[in-house]
Amino acid sequence: MQPYKGSRNAVESVIAHCPSGALALALGDTVTHLVADRARIEVARDRPYYVREAEVAEPHPGQGACRRKFLLCRCSKSGIKPYCDGSHRDQGWKSGD
């Protein structure tokens, strides 16, 4: 992990708006995932489902993955279903909506 340098507020804002939940604030031994929004699912053309503040019974396979915001696969090509692993981009998937 590469450290990001900037004001604390700027760093927290970048983390809170990370759509996949891959970014977290690490201070010493404490790692905190920040979420900017209330519970919702966003649907956009050619993108996975963006989920905030919801629970999925299936644990995320990514080590240290955020459980409060994540991407759900919409294309059926993910190797870590129900989560998106970016395969939709690699395989040129289009939603057709």
Nearer to ligand FES, 16 or 75 (CB): 75
Residue at shortest CB range from ligand FES: 84
Instruction: Give the tokens for residue 27.
Output: 């201070």
Cβ proximity to ligand FES, 13 vs 49, nearer residue? 49
Nearest residue to 77 (alpha-carbon basis) of 59, 90, 63: 90
Q: Which spans of this chain sit near ligand FES (rule: CB under 6 A)?
A: 48, 73-75, 77-78, 84-88
Examine residue 48 and say whether the peptide bond preceding it is cis (omega within 30 degrees of 0). Answer: no
| CB of 28 vs ligand FES, minimal distance in Å | 33
Cβ 25 vs Cβ 3: under 8 Å: no
